Structure 1
Amino acid sequence: MKITIEPLEIEAHLDTVHAWVTHPRSAYWMMLDASVDDVAEEHARIARHPHHDAWLGRVDGEPAFLVETYDPARSELGGIVGLPELAPGDLGMHVLVAPAAGEPTTGFTTRIFRAVMRHCFADPGVRRVVVEPDVRNLPIRRKNTDAGFVELREVDLGEKTAMLSVCTREMFAAAHLRPENLRIAHRHLVAKAIAEFSHERMIAPVAVDGGADDAWELQGPSTTYVFTARRFMLDHWVVDPASIVRRGEEGEEAEVDAQAFVAEFAPALGIPATLLPTYLEELAATIASSCWKLEHQALTAADLVEADHQSVEGAMSEGHPAFVANNGRIGFDIDDHARWAPETSNDLSLLWVAVAREQSHLALGRGEDEQRLYAAELGEATLARFAAKLRSLELDPDGFRYVPVHPWQWRHKLAVTFATDVAARRIVLVGEGEDAHRPQQSIRTYFNTSRPERHYVKTALSIQNMGFMRGLSPAYMAATPVINDWVADLVEGDAELKERGFGVLRELASVGWTGDVFHALPDPSPYRKMIAALWRESPVPRLAEGERCATMAALLHRDASGASYAAELVRASGLPAREWVRAYLDAYLRPLVHCLMAYDLAFMPHGENLVMVLQDHVPVRMFMKDIGEEVAVMGDLPLPEEVARIRGEFPDDVKALAVHTDIFDGVLRYVAAILDDDGVLPETEFWAQARACIVDHAADHPELADAAARYDFLRPRFRHSCLNRLQLRNTLQMVDITDQAESLMFAGTLANPVA
């Protein structure tokens, strides 16, 4: 459900508000006998008060709740002598949820309460929210404490005895860390761990003797796990989290605990003892992220079908589908998570630093110009403000370039690790940009919500997440724009790709500073990847009327009730599921197969690297992104010298893994299982459509027959390349990005579902 809060216009909603406050369920508002005129006069008084405001809350566009905010120091609380608990930065709050017309919806009031708290803390000047419910109102007191409030003491307000309670930003940020959420998060993560580690053949559950067909048992060194699961093609497991029972050596039942699971199975999983604590920390952060989503995210899968790009982006329940620890974000504190994690859907203002021109590098794609880039992204007024800041320090603006910086990166890295450079004014903080940006699932990439037609911005963010420190290398990115130009030209010049509407979102400019002491050292290190950024095209200007877009990773999303976004899209489209799947595969699988067969060109096509274009809820075309770091030419196609680094040497049996592993195993096995599990389309029919997609492409392109034979996408089996094995082997740097093929780890073969 979509919750919005707006200033109350009492004239337009007087009858509705009167009905709410005089309903028997609203007894604690003490207006049961109020007339319509009484309610009008009360809200006229609020409107006249300079420190008291009334707000109307809507759910899915319909009025659903009433909010009042006020300055406690200027209220009846402030008039009480000897009330030392009030402090500057306090904001008082009342909330009234409309009486339910029918059966109450589970979690409805909680979701509204969380939205009201976010509304209160949206004002950066608010340090605490203060409430004073009637001491007899036990349900609302429980809502308060669940949201992070601490009850201080009873206060006599004359007409009632109130329970004075306060909630700081930090308390609210940590309110999701509750036992109820933790139990669900643990079960979800252990179910995923069993599924993915079994898929990668690091552990081996066995069927329960005499049990149901879906009953399994996993024996560990000290505990036994019994659970139910379905097994799909590609040795894909779907474990029911609610079914998991963990028993100790004496058969006693124990709590399901994801960290305990990994710690127990660590030898079998191949985690080095020195890195196990780091991986357990990433697991804890992943669990905390799950708890936050369980507590706060309100949109259902059905809601997302009609939602905009960024609503879908922020609602996704899962990070990378294969990695068990996929939301590590080591370096973020709890307040950082509440402000900047993608699932919070909060906007941020990027900071901008000026760096010495002779110690920086700016790479521009074709048709781009430095001044035009900055003017388009910042605007002339902001550029003038930045220049004035430099002149006030007696610095020449012409001697500097501007680099966007995440606020966390400035506070934790630039202002500390590079303090000497800041003091010497080789790095100058010139201020915030005017636009609001929203973190994407990839966490260091931001969408411009103020002006969606402007570019994505990607910045260095020195947190540890999913096997990598999320920095950006100025040296490595110097070739990024020209690589993107080359790939875009190839894609745009190909008739097959053009017919499919397949395109790339170019990374058209990169900037980085290299004047620090770390760049003067002989050996590379993460310290060289802390001050850099790039700009990537937005898909918004390329959408036609009636089209919307969504990150392809959303197809794997399930909401809190377990409903699937992919299944809801199929239903909303009105198409037979088989036709919907074929449209999706023609937009996704076929162009990538064509790039391999025609050019030996491989992308990294996981869900976060593609943006789906949807028309009438059907994927009709795709935009590929993250080109500079994750594209490879695996043959002898002529390349310009400046993009030669993308050529890779790969064994023949590895080349086809660009489809078999990256698409079949990395994406489609999840989509196929979701649609089958939800009764939308049997997986056999899904994979039949995938085979038909490949076969039809080959029939349409007889000139590529030699390539089709070489890649042999329909072979009976293919090598089983494993991702968690990579992360578990080295949680600090999963692969060498300059030689990814040598980093691959295999576990036998998988039966090809399109064979």
Structure 2
Amino acid sequence: MSADVTSTALAGAPEATVSAGAAPGLLTVEPVDPDRDAAVVQSWLAHPASSWWEMGQLDVVEVRDYLTGVQADPAQAAWLGRRDGEPCFLAETYDPSAVLLTDVWAAEPGDVGMHLLVAPAPAGGRVHGLTSAVMRAVVEHCRDALGARRIVVEPDVRNTAVQAKNAEVGFRALRAVDVDGKRALLSVLETDRIGVSDDDEPAAHLRPEHLEPAERHLVAKAIAEFTHERMIAPTQEGDGWRLDAGDSTYRFRARQHVLEHWAIDETSLTRTRGGAPVALSAQDLVLELRDVLGIPDELLGTYLEEIASTLASAAAKHRRGGPSAAQLARGRSDGGVAGATASFQDVESAMTEGHPAFVAANGRIGFGLDEYRAFAPESGGRFRYRWLAARRAHTHLALAADRTEQAHWESELSETVVAGFRSTLERRGLDPDDYVWIPVHPWQWQHRIAVTFAPDLGRQDLVDLGEGPDEYQPQQSIRTAFNRTDPTRSYVKTALAVQNMGFLRGMSPAYMRNTPAVNDWVASIVAADPTLASVGFSVLREHAAIGYTGDAYHRVDVSSPQRKMLAALWRESPIPRLAEGERLLTMAALLHRDASGDAVVSALIEESGLPAAAWVRRWLDAYLLPVVHCLTVHDLVFMPHGENLVLVVRDGAVVRAVMKDIGEEAAVLGRHDDRPVPADIDRIVHPVSDDEAALAVFTDVFDGVLRFVAAILDDDGVLPEGRFWEVVGECIDAHAAAHPDRRRPLDLRVPTFEHSCLNRLQLRNTLSMVDLADQSASLIRAGAMANPIGR
């Protein structure tokens, strides 16, 4: 059964009636009697308008057995509704912590799930307002008879009629979820707001009850990270802390951890001005600290806008809610590829923080309200790529060594789709063999390609082919999407000219030319290394890339954002690599707390049944050891933050890690004669000193990931941070002992290391915080940081 909260009246039939224009009448609700009611319910289910319930094929006996099963289950109940004594509707209620929504809804005491089926209209005519009255009667029954505080429903995302009816009685849509074999719109009604419809407000997430927690969290994060980067220095006051900023004074309680990490108690955070309480405001804090932060005048507005956008995103996430930490740690209850895929993407869409260190971490300047709902990863939405035919003479398709063009298109597009593309070109009198296919993000098509590349479209150097058939889900790395129609197909990453976290998120066609070659070389190094093989470490290759350069912007040797507007790549999917019982989650999940403040990493440790130190060591052997090994043995570095690592988990424990985002992030830190690389990929060679090379571990791993996880486990009472860092040291020592002849024998247990700061980079240049061609020169240091595993 895949029942919606639906009604036959809403699904195509007229509303249930007795006589035209009659009043709704007296509505009553009573427990279903399967023997008595099976025949009438079967007649309703057999009606074509009840197709959403997917039970129209059942006969009376089967319906009676189904209702008997529901009534026998202590977590479910079925109710017959009558209008003036005559059967009129069927309602089902259930405990969402035990039935149907166990993987996607963080149930609390007082939550009740609901399904509704209104009888088809008899021949006598429709009763105006009956379905609305029935809906009202059922939710009031849930409140009054069942004690429901919240009612949750999951109509099919395609059933827009019932969604409107839900909104009318006060349900608010939260997010799209995969449940019971369908794509459902999870929606909730607080029963003290029955009849208060507010879901027609496009910006309902910007109401005070959602924005205030977002402001509180971002102000706390800003104080913590600006303090960590030594731009501000709170002073102790009693059992708390005080920060004077401009005319405002901030007071709060906090726990200080190693690596100068501050865990601020957000509930304790207050702001006063002249002794009077003032509302918390992240933008105000930036302005109060303007001189200290050093934002250039001409870029201040951009940073404030990224702060505003980050707040809007956080408010929307607060309103939307999400699965609990325990649900994310446990994963889907259904097995196989479908369950593993859904579980993986549940985690992707549940993340709320963005980058853990950056304050302005969710800018996405350029997205409107509708586009945020469609394309932000936390929306859990789906979209289809727009496809263009690009003239070969102006386009470069680069392929991995084991991939031919024909094989590439056969694996990513069906024969029917390609035939349709060719037919479109032939109808225009164009030779399809003169063209190659490029996927374009729908936002990019609407806002950039159709405008910025209008002459190219007019010349038919670019030809619009329309939407492709596959549905994709946005990932945390905003330009990348996961194929939900066929999860074994590649991720697709495309240029997306929104301003986000210090960069306009374009993609360079010049970089795309050798991206597959870079990936082939890195993958060959990883695959041939016995140490990496022993811990199961692997990379997801970007095995195809494409870039268009036939535009006017490439006919002049002047760098501009327009030169990075039309490029794409395809990255291997991790799904085919899963063994039975394994599942995936982004490593960013280890830093995630749910709406109740529970941490995924703590829940994973509990799920595994392992001692916390043993769990951490398994994770470090899968993650930290390969990073250290690649650096010290191969002079090879990645960008190993949470979004770029996919963890393979079995029974709550990490069994191996997979690295992605290779082409733009991988680098060789030694000289050519130390580590020869093929001439066509020498752009990845960036020789640096040993001290700077070590920052690939100290800054990117210790400061960028481990300090957050260590603090979470310490604050949760799961593992003292002293013991956490002992385990880190043990992992480092074990690798060094096993590889005494490593190429670059870096001492990662030195007493201190340079404190390289991330927010300082963004504050210095909010539009382009790092020169990707010379990242070393872009670094900003703030003195020395005590090494938590230093001797």
- TM-score interval w.r.t. the shorter chain? 0.7 to 0.9
**1:572–1:132 distance in 2 versus 1, CA, 3 Å:** closer
2:378 aligned residue: 343
Equivalent position SS for 2:647: strand
Alignment of 1:71-110 (within 5 A): 96=138, 99=142, 108-109=150-151
Give the distance between the partners of 1:390 and 1:28, measured in 2 at CA: 63
The answer to whether residue 236 in structure 2 is matched with residue 207 in structure 1 is: yes
The match for 1:697 is: 735
Q: For 1:186-201, what aligned pairs fall within 5 Å after superposition?
A: 186-201=215-230
CA 1:331/1:579 → structure 2, altered by over 3 Å: closer, same or farther?
same
Q: How does 1:149-548 map to 2 (within 5 A)?
A: 171=200, 173-208=202-237, 211-212=238-239, 215-248=240-273, 250-307=274-331, 308-548=343-583
Contact in 2 for aligned 1:554/1:565 (Cα 8 Å): yes
Which structure 2 residues correspond to residues 608-687 of structure 1 after superposition, within 5 A?
A: 608-636=643-671, 637-687=675-725
SS in 2 for 1:702: coil
Give CA-to-partner distance per residue, 1:166-219, whole Å, 9 cap, x none. Answer: 777xx35422222111111111111100000000011110111xx11xx10000
Q: Which amino acid aligns with 2:545?
A: S
Whole-Å separation in 1 of the counterparts to 2:540 and 2:324 = 29
Residue of structure 2 in register with 1:19 after alignment? none
Q: d(CA) in 2 for partners of 1:739 and 1:266?
A: 28
Q: Distance in 1 between matches of 2:377 and 2:167?
A: 33
Distance across 1 between alignment mates of 2:390 and 2:124: 53
How far, CA to CA, are the matches of 1:251 and 1:75 in structure 2?
Answer: 72
Q: 1:166 to 1:681 in 2, by over 3 A?
A: closer
Code of the residue aligned with 2:639 in structure 1: it is: M
SS at match of 2:29: coil
Q: Find out whether 1:565 has 2:600 as its counterpart.
A: yes
Alignment CA distance shift 1:523-1:132 (3 Å): closer
Residue correspondence of structure 1 range 542-621 to structure 2 within 5 A: 542-621=577-656
Question: Structure 2 vs 1, CA of residues 398 and 187 (structure 1 numbering), >3 Å: closer, same or farther?
Answer: same
Determine if the alignment matches structure 1 residue 65 to structure 2 residue 113: yes
**Quick check: 2:6–2:117 contact (8 Å CA) kept in 1?**
no
Q: Could you tell me how far 1:652 is from its partner in structure 2?
A: 2.8
In the alignment, the residues of structure 2 paired with residue 613 and residue 28 of structure 1 have an alpha-carbon distance, to the nearest angstrom, of 56
CA shift in 2, pair 1:132/1:192, >3 Å: closer
Per the TM alignment, residue 44 of structure 1 is displaced from its structure 2 partner at its CA by 5.3
Paired with 1:66 and 1:715, the residues of 2 have a C-alpha distance of 60
Q: Which amino acid aligns with 1:233?
A: V
Q: Which amino acid aligns with 2:208?
A: P
Per-residue deviation, residues 578-597 of structure 1 (Å, max 9, x unmatched): 10011111111111111111
Change (3 A) 1:413 1:77: farther
* Contact persistence 2:508–2:564 (CA under 8 A): yes
For residues 251-297 of structure 1, give each alpha carbon's deviation from its aligned partner in whole angstroms, at most 9, with x where no partner exists: 00111111111121122111122211211111111111111111113
* Structure 2 contact 252–269 (Cα < 8 Å) conserved: yes
| Secondary structure, aligned partner of 1:515 | coil
- Per-residue deviation, 1:241: 1.0
* Distance in 2 separating the partners of 1:566 and 1:461: 32
Residue pair 1:613, 1:619 contacting (<8 A) in 2 also: yes
Using a 3 Å threshold, how does the CA distance of structure 1 residues 132 and 495 change in structure 2: closer, same or farther? closer
Aligned partner of 2:378: which letter? E
Q: Which residue of 2 aligns with 1:151?
A: none
Aligned to 2:29: 31
Q: Structure 1 residues 220, 537: closer, same or farther in 2, change over 3 A?
A: same
Distance, in Å, in 1 between the alignment partners of 2:292 and 2:117 is 55
- State how far apart, in whole Å, the 2-side matches of 1:723 and 1:241 are: 23
Q: Any stretches of 5+ residues in structure 2 without a counterpart? A: 9-24, 54-91, 101-111, 176-193, 332-342
Aligned residue for 1:629, secondary structure, equals coil
Provide TM-score, normalisation by structure 1.
Answer: 0.85
Consecutive unaligned residues of structure 1, counting only runs of 5 or more, are 11-26, 82-89, 134-139, 148-162
Q: Is the 8 A contact 1:130 1:166 kept in 2?
A: no
SS of 2:449's partner is helix
**What is the identity, as a one-letter code, of the residue corresponding to 1:293?**
K
Which amino acid in the other structure matches residue 204 of structure 1? A
Structure 1 residue 496, shift from structure 2 partner: 0.7
Correspondence 1:131-146 to 2 at 5 A: 141=170
How far apart are the structure 2 equivalents of 1:455 and 1:537?
5
Q: For 1:544, what is the secondary structure of its paired residue?
A: coil
Residue 726 of structure 2 is matched in structure 1 by 688
State the alpha-carbon separation in 2 of the partners of residues 408 and 603 from structure 1: 29
Determine if contact 1:577/1:680 at 8 Å carries over to the other structure: yes
Q: What is residue 707 of structure 1 aligned with on the other side?
A: 744
| Residues in 2 aligned to 1:194 and 1:277: alpha-carbon distance in whole angstroms | 20
Distance 2:27 2:283 in 1: 46
CA distance in 2, matches of 1:245, 1:412: 41
Give the superposition deviation at 1:649.
2.7
Q: Could you tell me how far apart the structure 2 residues matched to 1:312 and 1:102 are?
A: 36
CA distance in 2, matches of 1:380, 1:373: 12
Alpha-carbon distance in 1 for matches of 2:595, 2:148: 14
Specify the code of the residue in structure 2 equivalent to 1:312: V
| Whole-angstrom CA distance in 2 between matches of 1:396 and 1:529 | 27
For 2:266 and 2:123, locate their aligned partners in 1 and report how far apart those are by CA, in whole Å. Answer: 49
Q: Residues 39 and 166 (structure 1 numbering): CA distance in 2 closer, same or farther, change over 3 Å?
A: farther
Three-state SS of the structure 1 residue aligned to 2:662 is coil
Whether the 8 Å CA contact 2:174–2:320 is kept in 1: the answer is no
Contact 1:128 1:166 in 2 (8 A): no
Counterpart residue type for residue 369 of structure 1: T
Deviation per residue, 1:134-178 (Å, 9 max, x gap): xxxxxx55x56999xxxxxxxxxxxxxxx998777xx35422222
SS at 1:620 equivalent: strand
Counterparts of 2:505 and 2:388 in 1: how far apart (Å)? 19
- Give identity over the alignment, percent: 48
2: CA distance, partners of 1:226 / 1:666: 26
Determine the C-alpha separation between the residues in 1 that align with 2:124 and 2:312: 39
1:34-45 mapped onto 2 (5 Å cutoff): 43=41
Partner residue of 2:84? none
Instruction: Provide TM-score, normalisation by structure 2.
Output: 0.81
Quote the Cα distance in structure 2 between the aligned partners of 1:69 and 1:733: 55
Q: Say whether the 8 Å CA contact 1:362–1:509 is kept in structure 2.
A: yes
